[in-house]
Chains A and B, each alone.
Chain A
């Protein structure tokens, strides 16, 4: 992008002199005449006529800059949308699954056992309030039970060897 912009800023004679190298203009200026190759300078600005108002001239310059910007910007919003419908999601998932079954993947990538293997589609269920109470109470009791773990002294940790 920077190389492309840099090449637009140079005049045409210097680009022809450099020939084929990495700094060459990617798009030849004659290929698309709608794109203005030279930035507005004092030489290529037309002289003002007495009937023209200075404000209108500034407006035309601004419009020209805006037009140049529009021609150089690539609008990616029209290239595609990432929002998938649920049916399309399922359809794509089935296609990918079919392709994965055919593809000769290594055995390590074919996980037969995983936690979410039994979910055929994106789960939409939520946690019940009874489950919420159950896990909270169990967690509190587990903490209490853990704190009640005590090391019982059965044998001496340091045992004297039979050294004469």
Chain B
């Protein structure tokens, strides 16, 4: 039933070493997760994406980058799914 999402998450996590992926619906509920990610962050991720999108409501959904010493969190809100990528600093870049 949800195998398409599970397979997609596993594909992203296996392609990008050390990367965590969190998929959240528009209600802030966790759809799926992969890698070293806490699913409790799903509500916060959704709230951040929705609030930042209100800064420029006439533009498309922005890419949010929360950067810290240990890594960065990339967030983008889609029409149905908000995607969050947890990326450590020492991870080699992959596409």
The chain A residues found within 8 Å of chain B, CB to CB, are 115-116, 118-120, 123, 125-128, 130-143, 145-152
Contact = CB atoms under 8 A, between A and B. Distances in A.
Interface size class for chain B?
Answer: 35 or more
Given A126-B65, A131-B87, A141 B78 contact: no
A146 B81 contact: yes
B5 A146 contact: yes
Given A142-B23, A151-B1, A133 B95 contact: yes
Interface in B76-95: 76-81, 83, 85, 87, 93-95
A123 to B, nearest CB: 5
Contact of B85 (A126, A134, A146, A149): A134
A150 to B, nearest CB: 7
Contact of B1 (A115, A119, A133, A152): A152
B81 A142 contact: yes
A135 B95 contact: no
Given A130-B93, A151-B1, A135 B76 contact: yes
A127 B8 contact: no
B78 A142 contact: yes
Interface of B: 1-2, 4-5, 7-8, 12, 16, 21, 23, 31, 41, 44, 63, 65-70, 72-81, 83, 85, 87, 93-95
A15 B7 CA distance: 85
B4 A115 contact: no
A116 B66 contact: yes
A139 B81 contact: yes
Given A127-B65, A131-B72, A147-B80, 17 more contacts: A119-B69, A125-B72, A127-B63, A131-B85, A131-B93, A135-B74, A135-B83, A136-B63, A137-B95, A138-B12, A139-B76, A139-B77, A139-B81, A141-B12, A146-B31, A146-B78, A149-B1
B49 to A, nearest CB: 10
B74 A123 contact: no
Contacts of A125: 67, 72
A93 to B, nearest CB: 16
A125 B74 CA distance: 13
**Most chain-B Cβ atoms within 10 A of its Cβ — which of A127, A131, A142, A151?**
A142
Contacts of A149: 1-2, 4-5
Contact of B4 (A126, A137, A148): A148
A120 B70 CA distance: 11
A138 B80 contact: no
